[in-house]
Amino acid sequence: MLAKAGNEVVRSEQKSFSFGHGAAALRPRQKHADDLGKSNLFLVLVPEREVALLAVETGRGIAQRYGLSKTPRPHELMHVSLNGIGKYPDFPDDIVFAVSAAMATVKAAPFEVNFDRAMSFAGAKAVVLANAIRSEEMMDLHVQLAKEMWAVGLNFTYNPRFMPHMTVLYDETPVPEHMLAEPVRWVAREFVLIRSFIGKSEYEYLDRWPLLD
């Protein structure tokens, strides 16, 4: 365990991910009483600290502009989800070991992440940063991670309509799609396995893998 931390036009109505071999879609996230104490495992890109702080400031500006009642998420929680793995009641040592072994075989070069607009996802109450042009490099990585997990018999995520995004806050008031005054961008040089504790604003970084030229 490493640490704890508190070219296609795509659409903003991304709502679902397919788990396993064609399982049911995942609805916009909701916390239920029986989920408390459980945790989610997922693979993500994590921005540099300065970029994460810029994302928070961008979220704060969006909230002020559109009169939102909620504040941005802490910079430690800013990330771009790549692939979900599953929800577990306890720490799944065997799953983490299997994921770590599978991810060690991934080969991908560093690439730029560039979010130039903000919007709400329909039905999810999430205000996100995104780009109208889907990153081919990020889609390729999404597919490769799914293939590697499938190859070792793990649950995996694959969504042909995968829209890379960063959630900056949640609010009931919808935010129309609009361009940002300053894009949020960085060069992704690694991807990370994260454990998120349901009901808490807390992530645990379990493993990470470099993207190499």
* Residue 136 and residue 109 in contact, taking contact as beta carbons nearer than 8 Å: no
Predicted local confidence at residue 35, as pLDDT: 56
Is 33 a member of any domain?
A: no
Is 18 a member of any domain?
A: no
Predicted structure pTM score = 0.82
Is 195 a member of any domain?
A: yes
Is 134 a member of any domain?
A: yes
Is 123 a member of any domain?
A: yes
CATH code for the domain of 102? 3.90.1140.10
Is 32 a member of any domain?
A: no
Q: Tens digits of per-residue pLDDT, 66-89?
A: 999 999 999 999 999 999 999 999
Is 25 a member of any domain?
A: no
Per DSSP (E only), the strands in the chain are 3-5, 18-19, 39-45, 80-88, 111-120, 126-130, 157-158, 166-170, 178-188, 190-197, 203-210
Domain limits at 60?
3-8+38-210
Q: Tens digits of per-residue pLDDT, 152-200?
A: 888 787 888 889 999 999 999 999 999 999 999 999 999 999 999 887 8
Count of domains observed in the chain: 1
Is 172 a member of any domain?
A: yes
Task: Please determine, for residue 124, whether its predicted confidence score (pLDDT) is greater than 50.
Answer: yes
Q: Which among 28, 12, 9, 16 has a CA at the least distance from the CA of 158?
A: 16
Q: What is the DSSP letter of 68?
A: -
